Amino acid sequence: MTVRSDGLKAVWRRPGGRAGAAFLGFLVLLAWLGPLALPDPFRQFDLVELADAPPSADHPFGTDQLSRDVLSRVVSGARISLAVAALTVALSVTLGAAVGLVAGYWGGAVDAVIMRLVDGALAVPRLFLLLLVLALSDRVPLAVLIILMGATGWFATSRLVRAEVLRLRTEAFVQAAEALGASRRRVIFRHLLVNAAGPLLVAATLGVGDVILLEAGLSFLGLGVQPPTPSWGGMIMDGRPVLESAPWVGIFPGVAITLTVLATNLVGDALRDVLDPRSA
């Protein structure tokens, strides 16, 4: 308990960690409560008069080509982008942790086979795997997109967890627990997983930023979250053709991506300094 709160305090004490955590907290609040106070992100105010209107008192971030309020869309885009990223990372971290634990704990042939497969999967960059699947398959609903991004994101995590497990198994307290006849389940969950949680948390935090960038990249190719669901990547693409004449349409979601990914990385770095000082 104290370790955990000390850890959080230590993150907060670092200027980068504090700024990042504060921004993420603010963003989550905004995504949660903002839509209550803002206009409907799907509402078209006036297609003829108010399309691509510059920022004003009524529309602080301006409007897009369909005369929708950009601020509302950035805020509800935060919901989608954060939720997509969080779910994707939850999936990939779970998969990665499970595979890493299995490989590291059982070792031997199981480990060898799993790790060769992981090596093979890591040789194809995640983007190319997704391009192949998404470009050649039919319409992909949001849930499937999340599953696909999660299923292609756990390879590196499993390596990380395996290395951590291998290290922990040589530690005195784990060997002691095993010698004292602790059950396999107890060793895995109570000792190995808990003690590997630090690097796992760092990887998850950094992973959130990566998934936001990945979704933006897929949207650039028309393969990301499908409109009209507002995602930041999709909104940048909406703004792309009017970059010159109505820059606000694309700049605000672009800035939102940069700030959010920056914040997750600052927090991730601070966490790493605190939880995993060897690699800092």
Binding site for another protein (CB under 8 A): 15-16, 44, 47-48, 51-52, 65-66, 116-117, 119-129, 131-133, 135-140, 209, 213, 216-217, 220-223, 226-227, 233, 236, 240-246, 250, 254, 257-262, 265-266, 269, 279-280
Closest separation in Å from C-beta 179 to another protein? 28
Q: Which of residues 60 and 120 has its CB atom nearest to another protein in the complex?
A: 120
Nearer to another protein, 16 or 107 (CB): 16
Instruction: Give the 3-state DSSP-derived string for the chain, with helices as H, strands as E and coil as C.
Output: CHHHHHHHHHHHHCHHHHHHHHHHHHHHHHHHHHHHHCCCCCCCCCCCCCCCCCCCCCCCCCECCCCCEHHHHHHHHHHHHHHHHHHHHHHHHHHHHHHHHHHHHHCHHHHHHHHHHHHHHHHCCHHHHHHHHHHHCCCCCHHHHHHHHHHCCCHHHHHHHHHHHHHHHCCHHHHHHHHCCCCHHHHHHHHHHHHHHHHHHHHHHHHHHHHHHHHHHHHHCCCCCCCCCCCHHHHHHHHHHHCCCCCHHHHHHHHHHHHHHHHHHHHHHHHHHHHCHHHC
* Residue closer to another protein (CB basis): 145 or 193: 145
- Cβ at position 196, least distance to another protein in Å: 21
Q: Which is nearer to another protein, 69 or 269 (CB)?
A: 269
Q: Which is nearer to another protein, 188 or 251 (CB)?
A: 251
Closest distance to another protein from the beta carbon of 197 (Å): 23
Q: How far is the CB of 240 from another protein (least distance, A)?
A: 6
